[in-house]
A = this chain, B = another copy of it.
Amino acid sequence: MTTVPVSMTDVRGLVDGALRAAVGRLDPRTYRVAAYHLGWTDAEGHPRAAPAGKALRPALALLSARASGAPQESALPGAVAVELTHAFSLLHDDIMDGDLTRRHRPAAWAVFGEADAILAGDALLSLAVEVLLEAPGQNSGRAARELSAATRRLIGGQARDLEFESRRSVGVDECVAMASDKTAALLACSCSIGAVLDGAPEPLCTALADFGSALGIAFQLVDDLLGIWGDPKVTGKPALSDLRSRKLSLPVVAALNAGTAQSERLAELYATPAADADEPADEASEDDTGDEDETSEEDARLEEMARLVEAAGGRAWAEAEAGRRIEAAGARIAAAGLPAGVRAEFLHIAHFVTGRDH
């Protein structure tokens, strides 16, 4: 666990005003849902102190302007756009996945209902492009095209993720490809959007996007590790939550494909129906007996699953692969001609993000 990079603590102050001004354009009913989802208000619409999220994507967007020699402020519309796109995807993913909790709070759809949550996600998605196209200069159109293409890949990755749920087996490569679309595409766009807005030469923009893409895979690997071994107090999700939902996350898929005896046993356990962790225990079953037994049985299964993922090498692979991706990311911008200080900040963020404990 390293310290929080300076660029990430400052970024909220820089981006928040523009983000709030953008979301403030929405009609009152849609605004209410969006403001809750972004952590600005509670369910009743009263302001909250703590901002949600790490503002990782805006931080990368601002840094990306400096990579091109432009002031970070020039990337503000890009920073707002990638954050809005990220917010849209979380909002809709929670509905699709039936996730009731987001960042220690009830998910927006659980508070406001599906219809209003769908609409708020639509609004954030469209607003992202609208804001970006208002950036001064000749390059906002190109930036918006790249953001739209990244959004298309993000959607394709989520579609593939939904498809995995209905499949018996998933290969490591296709799981990495899914993460590359679902997570890495928007991070690649975040890392390059400031340079694109500044009209930077193609090779610099591509190097930055490649950095973001490799960072994105590393980020997903770490996120998946935390989905199994992360501290519930920090992640805001129940312990072993990804195993509870039988999610085919990267360490699990690696373990399932390892060809070991543990892989087979893990596959067996994954085939048992998931207990509904979100449902209160007294409603989990029609009959009144056996609920506690079922809960402790499932808990024992989850503990065994976690041990099996580790024993089959899934945990070690994911940790090593995250390290390799971060190394590749660093190598990609080593010779791209970034100002030395900017490159150091990109690397600092990369190490912070993958070494983080939440």
List chain A positions with a Cβ less than 8 A from chain B. Answer: 25-27, 29-30, 88, 92, 95-97, 114-116, 118-119, 121-123, 125-127, 129-130, 133-134, 140-141, 144-145, 148-149, 151-152, 155-156, 158-160, 162-163, 181
Q: How far is the CB of A156 from chain B (nearest CB, A)?
A: 3
Q: Could you tell me if A30 and B125 are in contact, using CB atoms closer than 8 angstroms? A: no
Q: By the criterion CB–CB under 8 Å, are A122 and B92 in contact?
A: yes
Q: For A181, what are the chain B residues with a Cβ–Cβ distance below 8 Å?
A: 27
**For the complex, what is the distance from the CA of A127 to the CA of B181, rounded to whole Å?**
16
Q: For A145, what are the chain B residues with a Cβ–Cβ distance below 8 Å? A: 130, 133-134
Closest 6 CB pairs of A and B: A27-B156, A130-B148, A96-B115, A141-B141, A29-B159, A126-B151
CA–CA, A156 and B120, complex, Å: 10
Closest to A152 in B: B126
CB distance from A178 to the nearest CB of B (A): 10
A32's closest neighbor in chain B, by CB?
A: B159
- Extra contacts besides A30-B156, A127-B148, A134-B145 (8): CB < 8 Å: A29-B156, A97-B115, A118-B121, A122-B122, A122-B155, A125-B125, A126-B151, A133-B148
B152 touches A130 (CB 8 A): yes
CB-defined A-B contacts under 8 Å, sample of 28? A26-B156, A27-B156, A27-B159, A27-B160, A29-B159, A29-B162, A29-B163, A88-B122, A92-B122, A95-B115, A96-B114, A96-B115, A96-B118, A97-B115, A116-B159, A116-B162, A118-B121, A119-B158, A125-B125, A125-B126, A126-B129, A126-B151, A130-B145, A130-B148, A133-B141, A133-B145, A141-B141, A141-B144
B119–A96 contact, CB under 8 A?
yes
C-alpha spacing A156/B144, complex, angstroms: 23
Q: Known contacts A115-B162, A118-B92, A162-B115; is A149 also within 8 Å of B130 by CB? A: yes
A158: which B residues are within 8 A, CB to CB? 119
In the assembled complex, the Cα of A29 lies from the Cα of B159 at a distance in Å of: 6
Q: Across the interface, do A129 and B155 meet the contact criterion of CB distance under 8 Å?
A: no
Q: How far is A123 from B30 in the complex, measured between Cα atoms in Å?
A: 20
Closest to A131 in B: B148
- Tell me, in angstroms, the Cα distance from A129 to B119 when the chains sit together: 18
Once the chains are docked, how many angstroms separate the CA of A114 from the CA of B29? 22
Q: Which of A95, A119, A155 has its CB near the most chain B CB atoms (within 10 A)?
A: A155
Q: Are A121 and B119 in contact (CB under 8 A)?
A: no
